[in-house]
Structure 1
């Protein structure tokens, strides 16, 4: 039977220790320590030293939270990427190509998982079996069977799982949450939600391992997990049924020529999607220099025949509170952005970002993608995003300007990590912290959509795992 968790607040109350930020654990990490190292830095191990691991969950953590967090081990199957990752992060810790050896040797308090999506479950489960807390990059995993295995492992563990849903923390998204919580346009009945990946960012998924369903579960899982989590969080309800359509008609085999990789492709001058990886020193040092270890090609051809994911997707979702959602994902748009509209009994809320003619300055789409992939930060605030609210029986509308902070996702990235590593006692009225149920419900929409496309039939969420949808997510 699972043991009762000893929360941070209970610890402080029982010991009378006013340790403030010295005990670091986010809201999802109630059991902050299980060893005598209570007052020391939190011992962190990271598995997966690709670009996301060494930047967002690596160097950024080392530089911003090094006073409270200590990397004690790094692990990757590629020894070259592993050693480069250690240097890039600036961590003074041992490296391992065997995960169990790392865990046995370093005895971490916290595990961060940033491997290929389809392998997340292996490391999440092993971490939970050691009764430690685990942070996983999105998506939590890629199919319903691995999802159930994670849920079962957490149920038997003293550790807890948190999913890195940084999109929730964007000021634009949190302002929408506040409007919906306050029922600004009354009861919400339906949502129109459309996401656009531009020809730089969208194409990049088809160059990488994400273009193979067995690795990433399709973009309905890898990418759309962000969007489905936002919907679940905004609507404060769980999905009950999904019906979807999707196809691969642009990338993959849908071209008259292809090469083995962009660097050596004979079609560089005629391919609009040619990408010169040699312009990026980090990618050259992290990926190209280490191809010989595992054969992973970072600038692979996006026309290769083995690509088997969808490049256009349309999904209908019915929620337990009777809200209906129409969602679409496009992977070859001229611009990167989204549009969303919430229809209520008393009016409508419209929001968007990245739509060029709605921006004050023209967006350079290639630079936008470069910033996205570098995992870097914006030094200064980047203007404002708009929300429009219009009431029924009125010709007027309310324009709400949401100013963005410096940093990724309008400052949302920093807010996520601060909540995990520093602001453990802060109030969370918007329920920003995401655990295993949040991670599961977001991927289950994508998994159900994928299953629906394959079967041609609607798929019920409750048929996938032991989780039962709730009309209100706080239940």
Structure 2
């Protein structure tokens, strides 16, 4: 039987914002003709039932992922749980003969990366990592320009990402604020950015020298409370939010917090927060390319600046997501030649998450006959290399020493 003669049987573990949204109701809206849910799993039964209704499926629900795999025999498991639990879910599904799609980052430690890669080799199943930024129209165009050779051989890259006081602060309200759960934003958030670099450059990072600090959130804050909803400082705190004003988040998290104690509006100034909010890294690639990278989490703007410096010219983009001035609903890539005219390539933003990247990724994974001429689809090794770049950055920032990336993976000839 042709693999697309029937719908792909998909199970989902983790029904929070990303799971219930992008990989739940949006997946069915975009790819429902090729996909059917056969099981949903979350440790929080209240959230699970609400997510099932929001997704619009009658699939059975489970609080134990192993029981779900056994009872439903899916073709694919989608993993949207907390980052540090990904590896357990992935390995269990591979050993059950199930292919995987995992939210980024694939996992949080070198040891967990090795476990996943070994299980994938041993079982012969496939792991896909949801690197949706590769699929945005702008990223696709940048890759095509670089492949064209217009700017010659790339020698260095400037890559700077800005999270504003809405999005950036949100990481410090949630479980992401703890190294043990997220691996830090060098792993959780920057895995996107490191993967883009690896894909754009078609090379692996060799060495990382990084710095990181907690300047604004956590113990650096002027006061703190248990959570926004009950905080005595609400009237004077710029970061106070009312979760009740967001019906989606309120539905998924507020009442369900009675079951597991997880609040979606925890204080961004909690003293126990132990990740960086200000980060920079110098990355040397095996190809010789030098990268200057930074990530800042409390800016008045949201977006990034990216530039590739080549032997024949430069490609540059400043992408605006949120800022205090009006910009066109498009991106502009500048292709500048050392001896010749400059070119402006304008790319309209597409509907859906990540400027159309979410929809394009879903269609790549589930639409019949999808092709991948640019190598946008990312497997377990791509997931591991991006995670290990972040792991190396955390180690370097903690020790003050440069860290080699490949030895963390323990591949042959990795020294």
How far 1:355 moved relative to its partner? 7.2
> Where do 5+ consecutive residues of structure 1 fail to align?
1-16, 25-38, 364-381, 471-475
Verify the 8 A CA contact 1:194 1:340 in the aligned structure 2.
Answer: yes
How far does the alpha carbon of each residue in 1:440-463 deviate from its partner, in whole angstroms, 9 at most, with x for none? 111111011011111211111121
> What corresponds to 1:466 in structure 2?
410
Match of residue 399, structure 2, among 418, 430, 455? 455
1:72 corresponds in structure 2 to 38
Query: Distance between the aligned counterparts of 1:225 and 1:256, measured in 2?
Result: 31
The match for 1:176 is 142
2:376 maps to 1:432: yes
Aligned mates of 1:178, 1:68 — CA distance in 2: 29
Q: Deviations over 1:113-171 (max 9, x none)?
A: 00000000000000111121000000000010000000010010131000001000111
Aligned to 1:386: 332
- 1:32 matched to which residue of 2? none
Q: Could you say if the C-alpha distance between residues 209 and 356 of structure 1 is closer, same or farther in structure 2, counting changes exceeding 3 Å? A: closer
Q: Does 1:362 align with 2:314?
A: no
**Alignment coverage as a number of residue pairs:** 414
Aligned equivalents of 1:226 and 1:189: distance in 2?
Answer: 21
**CA–CA separation in structure 2 for the residues paired with 1:247 and 1:469:** 33
* Whole-Å separation in 2 of the counterparts to 1:47 and 1:206: 23
Report if the CA contact (8 A) 2:10-2:76 is conserved: yes
Query: How high is the TM-score relative to the length of structure 2?
Result: 0.96
Residue pair 1:238, 1:469 contacting (<8 A) in 2 also: no
Structure 2 CA distance, aligned partners of 1:72 and 1:355? Answer: 36
Which one of 398, 414, 418 corresponds to residue 363 of structure 2?
Answer: 418
Cα distance in 2 between the residues matched to 1:393 and 1:43: 54
Q: Is residue 2:42 matched to residue 1:96?
A: no
Task: Please say if residues 132 and 158 of structure 1, whose CA atoms lie closer than 8 Å, have aligned partners that are also in contact.
Answer: no
Which residue number corresponds to residue 300 of structure 1?
266
User: 1:52 and 2:23 equivalent?
Assistant: no
Change (3 A) 1:171 1:445: same
Contact 2:84–2:107 under 8 Å retained in 1: yes
Task: Find the aligned partners of 1:123 and 1:151 in 2 and give their Cα distance.
Answer: 13
> Within 5 A, what are the aligned runs for 1:396-411?
396-411=341-356
Shift of 1:112: 0.5
Structure 1's consecutive aligned runs of 4 or more residues displaced over 4 angstroms after TM superposition are: none
Tell me the SS of whatever aligns to 2:211: strand
Using the alignment, how far apart are the partners of 1:171 and 1:384 within structure 2? 10
Whether 1:248 aligns to 2:192 is no
Could you tell me which residue of structure 1 aligns to residue 180 of structure 2? Answer: 214
Change (3 A) 1:469 1:326: farther
- Three-state SS of the structure 2 residue aligned to 1:195 is strand
Choose 92-101 or 348-357, whichever is displaced more: 348-357
Matched, 1:223 2:189: yes
Q: Is the 8 A contact 1:462 1:468 kept in 2?
A: no
Change over 3 Å in CA distance of 1:165–1:356 after alignment to 2: closer
Distance 1:89 1:427 in 2: 28
Q: In structure 1, the residue corresponding to 2:331 is in which secondary structure? A: strand
Equivalent residue of 2:314, what SS?
strand
The CA deviation at 1:466 is 2.7
Q: Is the 8 A contact 2:31 2:362 kept in 1?
A: no
Q: CA deviation at 1:295?
A: 0.6
Q: Distance in 2 between matches of 1:330 and 1:421?
A: 35
> For structure 2, which runs of at least 5 residues remain unmatched after alignment?
none
TM-score (norm 1): 0.84
The 3 A distance-change label for structure 1 pair 462 and 468 is farther
Partner of 2:127: 161
RMSD after superposition: 1.7
CA distance in 1, matches of 2:371, 2:28: 25
Encode CA deviations 1:296-323: one digit per residue, 9 max, x unaligned: 0100000011110000000111111100
| 1:348 partnered with 2:348 | no
Contact 1:452 1:459 in 2 (8 A): yes
Match of residue 375 from structure 1:
none
Q: Which residue of 2 aligns with 1:326?
A: 292
Cα distance in 1, alignment partners of residues 373 and 7 from structure 2: 28
CA separation of 1:469 and 1:242: change in aligned 2, threshold 3 A:
farther
Contact 1:139 1:221 in 2 (8 A): yes
Q: 1:287 aligns to what SS in structure 2?
A: helix
CA distance in 1, matches of 2:51, 2:237: 32
2:413 and 2:351 map into 1 onto residues whose CA distance is 37
Q: Is the 8 A contact 1:239 1:469 kept in 2?
A: no
